[in-house]
Structure 1
Amino acid sequence: MGKRLNSKHKIDRRLGVNLWGRAKSPFNDREYGPGQHGQRRRKPSDYGIQLMAKQKLKGYYGNIGEKQFRKYYQEAVRRRGDTGENLVGILECRLDAVVYRMKFVPTVFAARQVVSHNHVRVNGKRVNVPSYMVKEGDVIELKEKSRELPMVLEAAASNERDIPDYMDVDLDKKRGTFTRTPKLEDVPYPVQMEPNLVVEFYSR
């Protein structure tokens, strides 16, 4: 589980957005940062804007560690094409992100948990590493016994979000195919993500 699981809603308020678009987010009631000085607002510098863009993208995927996130950026630079688009594509290939997108669980934090606790199979083989990189054509499914977990049933019944069109999912069987790596415009972020600013942050 992520180190910041107990304070994940503080991420919403610190960044000033309802990052996951959830009805339960306290940001819906208190649109200011947490803590004693949360209501003070200063105009951010260019560096501050770039840092915020990075923190939003990192936070959205379960608050990935800085070292790992920088590795994703370096891989995105190495690949051909737009670095920001490449970075989003890499993040969307993480197994925990795929499990979340397929609506097998209600949150990305829950996705990390079900993967770590051996509830997920990729192409019939158990995988318990949330950062495992899914490839196009891979079949992801929950173990049969895991399909009745309360949070799995909650996610399937939720109307908070839809399954994106770059995966083909059978919700009844809790099985899906990752059909293609998405572009930024394909990813159903509830808030505006600016990977171009993340690229600027790292290339300073």
Structure 2
Amino acid sequence: MTKRTSAKYKIDRRMGENIWGRPKSPVNRREYGPGQHGQRRKGKLSDFGIQLRAKQKLKGHYGDLTEKQFRRIFAEAERVRGDTGEILIGLLESRLDAVVYRAKFVATIFAARQFVNHGHILVNGQRVNIPSYRVKEGDVIEVREKSKQIAAVLEATQLAERDVPDYLEVDHNKMTATFTRTPALSDVPYAVVMEPNLVIEFYAQN
């Protein structure tokens, strides 16, 4: 089990936003934060608070990555020439667990991490069980033959709450997905506004 599976909606409540666009999110019913003082926490955020929230939201969307993992990805994005925010999004979206989630092989990013961990995914015909594995353009991601009839997988492909983005070519009959290109921020179907520019500001000042 992943550490946050049972508590994934706490992230939504903490952010005050339905960051995955899920129908069951508690934010759909209550926009205030968790805990007995949640309703009183509507104060104006400082610049630091706004930047921190942007970072926590982006980090949370990808399965509540640890600070060490997220900072390592950010450092890699900084080293590449170009728009750091766009590169950061491209690196996050090329994680194997993110691709499995976007392809709708599973219902949540947490389930995607577990699905990869348990050896249900092949990349170019080879079994890969590392959720952070970096998928390259042209790579073919496939659900292992033995796993194609798992009920949760079949249900996930039918989910109407989200669409497969156009940087993936997905065949749900064969349970395959091709990572056709690295996406830009505008290509990624986030349910809420993500602001990688604020993440850059956060790390620049802290």
TM range (shorter): over 0.9
How far is 1:66 from its partner?
0.4
Name the SS for the 2:36 alignment partner. Answer: coil
What is the aligned residue count? 204
Name the CA distance, whole Å, in 2 between partners of 1:195 and 1:69. Answer: 12
Name the CA distance, whole Å, in 2 between partners of 1:3 and 1:43. Answer: 31
How far is 1:2 from its partner?
3.1
1:109 corresponds to: 110
Among the aligned pairs, what percent are the same residue?
Answer: 67
1:46 corresponds to: 47
1:178 corresponds to: 179
Name the CA distance, whole Å, in 2 between partners of 1:27 and 1:10. Answer: 10
How far is 1:79 from its partner?
0.5
Contact 1:168 1:177 in 2 (8 A): yes
TM-score, normalized by length of structure 2?
0.97
Contact 1:115 1:129 in 2 (8 A): yes
Name the CA distance, whole Å, in 2 between partners of 1:4 and 1:124. Answer: 30
Task: Please give the residue correspondences for 1:44-123 in structure 2 after superposition, counting only pairs within 5 Å.
Answer: 44-123=45-124
Name the CA distance, whole Å, in 1 between partners of 2:39 and 2:52. Answer: 19
Name the CA distance, whole Å, in 1 between partners of 2:8 and 2:156. Answer: 18
Q: Structure 1, unaligned stretches of length 5 or more?
A: none
Deviation string for 1:48-67 (max 9, x for gaps)? 00000000000000000100
Name the CA distance, whole Å, in 1 between partners of 2:4 and 2:159. Answer: 24
**What is the alpha-carbon root mean square deviation over aligned residues?**
0.7
How far is 1:4 from its partner?
2.0
Contact 1:103 1:156 in 2 (8 A): yes
1:130 matched to 2:131? The reply is yes
Name the CA distance, whole Å, in 1 between partners of 2:27 and 2:125. Answer: 40
Name the SS for the 1:49 alignment partner. Answer: helix
2:15 corresponds to: 15
Deviation string for 1:69-119 (max 9, x for gaps)? 001111111001100101000000000000001110111011001100000
How far is 1:130 from its partner?
0.3
Name segments (4+ residues, structure 1) moved above 3 Å.
none
Deviation string for 1:29-59 (max 9, x for gaps)? 1111111111111111000000000000000
How far is 1:189 from its partner?
0.2
How far is 1:26 from its partner?
1.1
Name the CA distance, whole Å, in 2 between partners of 1:4 and 1:140. Answer: 25
TM-score, normalized by length of structure 1?
0.98
